[in-house]
Amino acid sequence: MSTLSRLPWPQYFMEITYLVAERSTCTRRKVGAIAVKDKRILATGYNGAPSGVAHCLDVGCLRAQLGVPSGQRHEICRGLHAEQNVIVQAAIHGISLAGSEIYCTTQPCLICTKMLINCGVTAIRYAESYPDQLAEDMLRESGVHYEVLPFTPRTGGPCLPPDAPAPDQGGGCGGGCACGGR
């Protein structure tokens, strides 16, 4: 009998979620999300500008230029959230997310939460909290299971450039990686 152990499914999927986040083009926070059903990945998504549109890495972040705090004024952001991109990717390929579970590096915001509820997901698991009480209330009311999975990425986690704003200034990667949350 082998003494080697396998990663538990939740850790396996969360590890992949952090790897997906590495594709992010957001200058403030790298976020990844995946949809899973029956232990199979249906779709992936990371935060960034729509296809064919200049990325924030290339043109800068309007919200940062205007001094908008994290979590506010999403309507002036060039990017889509990771969860929105999961939904879009699934829709483009004709894949229903009904009955799936979502793994995210960060707790979904209120808008993404409402979209995921309407997609019929059964659970949302995330590693990093996001202060959105209404989103949590709606998940509870809708019956969608949600939980924080204590997690430290083995891959090193998503890091931002050294000149990115500090976490207390709306920046940082969320921690758990080589940059120490910088």
Which residues are marked as active site? 83
List the one residue out of 125, 116, 109, 101 whose CA is nearest residue 36. Answer: 101
How far apart (Å, rounded) are the C-alpha atoms in residues 125 and 100? 11
How far apart (Å, rounded) are the C-alpha atoms in residues 142 and 113? 10
DSSP 128: E
Distances (CA, A) of 116 to 86, 99, 135, 142: 10, 11, 11, 11
- Which residues on adjacent β-strands are paired with residue 148? 126
How far apart (Å, rounded) are the C-alpha atoms in residues 172 and 115? 26
- Which residues on adjacent β-strands are paired with residue 95? none
CA angle, residues 161, 14, 102, in degrees to nearest 5: 110
CA 170 to chain centre: 16
What is the full DSSP assignment across 38-49? Answer: TTEEEEEEE-BP
